[in-house]
Chain A
Amino acid sequence: MSGLRILVPVKRVIDYAVKPRVNKSQTAIETTGVKHSLNPFDELSIEEAIRLRERALPVSDILALSAGPAKSADVLRTAMAMGADRSIHVQVDTEKEGDLEPLTVAKLLAKVVAEEDRNVVILGKQSIDDDAHQTGQMLAGLLGWSQATQASKVEVEKEGSTVTVKREVDGGTETLRAKLPIVITTDLRLNEPRYASLPNIMKAKKKPMIKKTMEDYGIDIKRRFKTVKVVEPAPRQGGGKVEDVDGMIGKLKELGAL
C-alpha cells in the first residue's frame, strides 16, 4: 500500500457544553445520564484527514479508532459519517476498569499502527475531560516518529512523503517539516469540522466497524494512577455589581487591584 494511511483515534467524552458534577463519594465525575459527544479536538482530526483526501492527496484509507465502553461505537459512527472509511472499536469496561491512561492508549495505538501499517496518525491535542495533553506525544515517542503537536496548518507534498506543519506555540506559531511517518495533534485553529449529513449518517451504518479487546493487542490496562479524590473547585464569590465606571475604579482600588 502506498500513499497516506491515516489513523484517527477518537474519544467519547462528556459534551463540552455540559457542566460536569462531582459524584457524592468524591471519586469521579458523574457520567450516567449525561450527554456525551466526540471530543472536539478529535472532530478536527477527522476533518483534517478528510481534507487531505479532498485535496487530491494519495490517501489510501482513513481508519478511526476508539477505546472505551460500548457507547464509544457512537463516536466511531460519527467519525465514519464525517468521512472515515472504517473503524476499530476496542472495548473496555471503563465502569469496572477505570478510564484508560494516556500511556496505555499510546501503547495500544502503537500496536494498531504496526498491525494496520499506518504512516500518519492525527490525534486531538487533548481530551476535554482529563486535559492530560499526552497521548500523541507518547505515541510518537514509542514509535520513534516525528511529532507535530498543536497543529494549525498541515501541508503534505503531492507525492505524499514530506509534511509541513504550522504549530501553535507560546507567543505565536512555528513551522516544522518532517518526512513520513508522523504523529500530528490538532489545535482548534486547524479547521472547521463539517456536520455529518443525513445520507452520510445512513451510509456510515454500512461501513465496517471491527470489535476488538485490549487483550487482542496484548495490552495491560492496569492503572499507574490511583484517584485519591475528586472535588469541586472552591466556588468564587461574585462580588456584585457597580453602577458606573467610577464605582468600578473605586471598588478595584478598595480591593487593592489598582
Chain B
Amino acid sequence: MFAASRGASVRSVRSLLRRNGPIPLNRHSSVSRLLSTLAVLEQREGKLNVSSLAAVSAAQKLGGSVTGFVAGSGTKAVAEEAAKVKGLEKVIFVDNGAYDKGLPENFAPLLVENIKKGGFSHVLAGHSAFGKNLMPRVAALLDTQQVSDIIEVGGEDTFVRPIYAGNAILTVQTSDDTKIITVRGTAFPAPETEGGSGAVEEGVDPKAECSTEWISENLAKSDRPDLATADKVVSGGRGLKSKEQFDKLIPPLADAMNAAIGASRAAVDSGFADNSLQVGQTGKNVAPQLYLCAGISGAIQHLAGMKDSKVIACINKDADAPIFQVADVGLVGDLFEKVPELTEKLK
C-alpha cells in the first residue's frame, strides 16, 4: 500500500517536472529522495544466483530504496532467501513455472507490469546472458534507451561504461524517466547475504503468452569455482596447441590453485576448450585476484575481458607478446615445461 502510493507520488512529481519545463534547482534532492530501484535477481531451480546480487550493490550506490524481484516456480523460498541480503528492503516474487527459463517473451511483460505497479525509477539487472537477453526488450516496451554493462554509478542519471572492448570509458547521462540498466558483475562486489530483513511480497502476474518454446540445455558441469566470480582464474590459449595438451596442463594447475578455468577465443575456436570458458569482449568478463594465463598473446578482444584482474601473470615464449605489457608477472618460456613445473611447485 505504502509502496503503491509512493510510486504514484514519484510519477506525479516527475510529470510535474516535465510540465514545468525548465528543471528547478532542487530537482536532484527532491528526486533522489523518491528514487526507488528494482533489482532483477536470477534464480535457477529454486536457488538464488548469488552473482546476480551485483545489481543490488549497484542499486545501493544510487541511494533510495532497493527492491528485489524474482520469478519462477517456488520462488517464495528464493525471495525469503534474498530478503536476508543486506540492502534489500523488499523482495517481490512471482510464483509461476512459466518464468523458470527466463524467456524474454513473457518475462519482459511480467517485469514491465511490476515496474509500472511499483513506480520504480531505476531497474537494474546483471549484464549476464539472462540480463542481456531480457532487459533491452523491457526497455523497448517502456520506450527507454537502456544503459548497458555499467561499471560505475556517477549519479542518479549518470553512468560509466566501457566501450570499444574496454579501450575507452564512457560517462553517459540519460534523459529517460525510467532507467533500465545492466550491471557488470565484476565491478560491484556482491552484498552480504546474511543479516538483512527485507519484506517479501507477491508481485503481479500478467501471464503473457510466450511465443518461444524452451527445448533443452547443455551446461558444462564442473566442481570448479564459477569463472565469472572466481578468485583465481587459470587461462589457456592457442599456445596449448591441442585439446589433449589443454586438458593435460591447464586443469591440474587450476586444481593446484583452486582456480576456475578460462580460455582465449583462439583456444575455444580450435576446440581446446568449451565456448562457455571464453574470456574476452564476446565471452566473459572476469576480474579475479589472480589471472594466470599461458599461451595467450593478449589481443585487445581478450584483454577486454580480463584487464581489471588484480594481478595478471603470464607464461609465453614470445617475449614481445602484448600480454607482457599488462602482466604484473611475466615469464618468458615454453609453457609445456613451465606450466607442469609451476603445478608441481604449487601442490
Residues of A that sit less than 8 Å from B by CB: 14, 16, 19-20, 22, 29, 101-103, 106, 125-126, 128-142, 145-150, 152, 164, 168-179, 187-189, 224-233, 236-242, 244-249, 251-252, 255-258
Contacts and interface: CB of A to CB of B under 8 A. Distances in A.
A22 B25 CA distance: 33
Given A14-B164, A168-B129, A251-B313, 15 more contacts: A29-B164, A133-B127, A137-B137, A147-B104, A150-B129, A172-B220, A172-B276, A173-B219, A174-B216, A176-B214, A224-B174, A230-B171, A232-B169, A238-B328, A245-B345
Interface residues of B, number: 91
Interface stretch (B79-87, B195-203, B330-338): B330-338
Nearest to B232: A257
B248 interface: no
Of A177, A229, A258, chain B has the most CB atoms within 10 Å of the CB of A258
A227 B170 contact: yes
B133 A142 contact: no
B77 interface: no
23 contacts: A16-B301, A20-B167, A128-B281, A131-B163, A131-B165, A133-B136, A142-B140, A146-B211, A149-B132, A149-B133, A150-B129, A168-B276, A170-B276, A172-B275, A175-B217, A230-B169, A231-B168, A236-B312, A239-B330, A241-B330, A246-B345, A255-B328, A256-B311
Contacts of A138: 136-137, 139-140, 146
Given A131-B149, A145-B211, A19 B171 contact: no
B342 A238 contact: no
B331 A140 contact: no
B328 A132 contact: no
Nearest to B160: A228
A233 B306 CA distance: 13
B326 A236 contact: yes
Interface string B262-300: 000100010000111000011010000110000000001
A199 to B, nearest CB: 29
B325 interface: yes
Given A176-B212, A176-B214, A238-B328, A226 B136 contact: no
Interface string B111-139: 00000000000000001111011111111
A134 B331 contact: no
B176 interface: yes
User: Nearest 4 CB-CB pairs, A to B?
Assistant: A141-B140, A239-B328, A172-B219, A137-B136
Given A131-B165, A170-B276, A248 B140 contact: no
Contact of B129 (A169, A225, A230, A245): A169
B282 A248 contact: no
Main secondary structure of the interface of B (DSSP, over half): mixed
Given A29-B168, A188-B265, A231-B169, A238 B330 contact: yes
Nearest to A164: B215
Main secondary structure of the interface of A (DSSP, over half): mixed
B304 to A, nearest CB: 9
A225 B301 CA distance: 26
B16 interface: no
A241 B332 contact: yes
Of B105, B145, B331, chain A has the most CB atoms within 10 Å of the CB of B145
Nearest to A142: B140
A169 B176 CA distance: 29
B311 A252 contact: yes
B141 interface: yes
B331 A248 contact: yes
A139 B257 CA distance: 45
Contacts of B163: 29, 129-131, 230
Contact of B164 (A128, A172, A175, A226): A128
A251 B215 CA distance: 49
Contacts of A256: 289, 311
A168 B133 CA distance: 11
Contact of A249 (B132, B133, B330, B346): B346
Contacts of B215: 164, 174-177
Given A146-B211, A252-B311, A238 B325 contact: yes
Contacts of A150: 129, 132-133
Given A134-B136, A146-B105, A150-B129, A248 B324 contact: no
A225 B144 CA distance: 11
Contact of B143 (A103, A145, A169): A103
B145 A238 contact: no
A170 B172 contact: no
Nearest to B137: A141
A239 B276 CA distance: 30
Contacts of A131: 148-149, 162-165, 281
B168 A147 contact: no
Given A252-B313, A257-B311, A148 B290 contact: no
